[in-house]
A = this chain, B = another copy of it.
Amino acid sequence: MDEYLAILRKNRCKITPQRRAVIEALLNLHTFVTAQQILTYVKRIYPEMGLDTVYRNLNLLAAFGVVSQISIPGREGNLFELMNKNCHHHHLVCLDCGNAECLEYCPVTETGLKEMGSNGFQVVSHSLQFYGYCRECKEKSANQ
């Protein structure tokens, strides 16, 4: 938490209770979540909080590179996640329940990235999602 507050301070942003609450929600929910899910979480403490404030703070944190954002076709709304700087990772998205697990390692080959550079395209980042079925959903459908 302090780590994130420091980033806010460094950029001359005020540290409001709502802002703390959004960060806390991201820390506790710990995978990709929608703005709505964050609001629901935060409303337990700040019932008067609005979705707009959630979005404003998510966009702010995203601008600082603290939050990353993906969107999964078929699921509505963008998903947000606290970026852990030390750990480049990807996601396993279940096509059944929609939950995302983290994949700690990156299966994109180094040689692959180099080859693209030679094409005149300078790669700065990549986004990779795997779709399939998680263990729970596989077992659930097997039991039917």
Q: Using a CB–CB distance below 8 Å, which chain A residues touch chain B?
A: 69-71, 73, 78, 92, 94-95, 101, 103, 105, 107-109, 111-113, 115-116, 119-135, 138
Provided the pairs A108-B107, A109-B107 are in contact, do residues A126 and B128 lie with their beta carbons within 8 angstroms?
Answer: yes
Please determine whether B121 and A125 come into contact, CB atoms closer than 8 angstroms: no
Please determine whether B73 and A73 come into contact, CB atoms closer than 8 angstroms: no
Inter-chain contacts of A129 with B (CB < 8 A): 126-128
In whole Å, how far is A133's beta carbon from the nearest beta carbon of chain B? 5
Number of copies: 2
Provided the pairs A107-B108, A108-B108 are in contact, do residues A132 and B128 lie with their beta carbons within 8 angstroms?
Answer: no
Q: How far apart sit A81 and B45, CA to CA, in the bound complex (Å)?
A: 44
Cβ-closest 4 pairs across A and B: A107-B112, A120-B135, A71-B71, A123-B132
What are some 8 contacts across the A-B interface (CB < 8 A)?
Answer: A70-B73, A71-B73, A92-B119, A92-B121, A123-B130, A124-B133, A125-B132, A126-B130
Provided the pairs A69-B73, A71-B71, A108-B108 are in contact, do residues A124 and B132 lie with their beta carbons within 8 angstroms?
Answer: yes
Inter-chain contacts of A128 with B (CB < 8 A): 108, 126-129
In whole Å, how far is A135's beta carbon from the nearest beta carbon of chain B? 3
Inter-chain contacts of A134 with B (CB < 8 A): 120-121
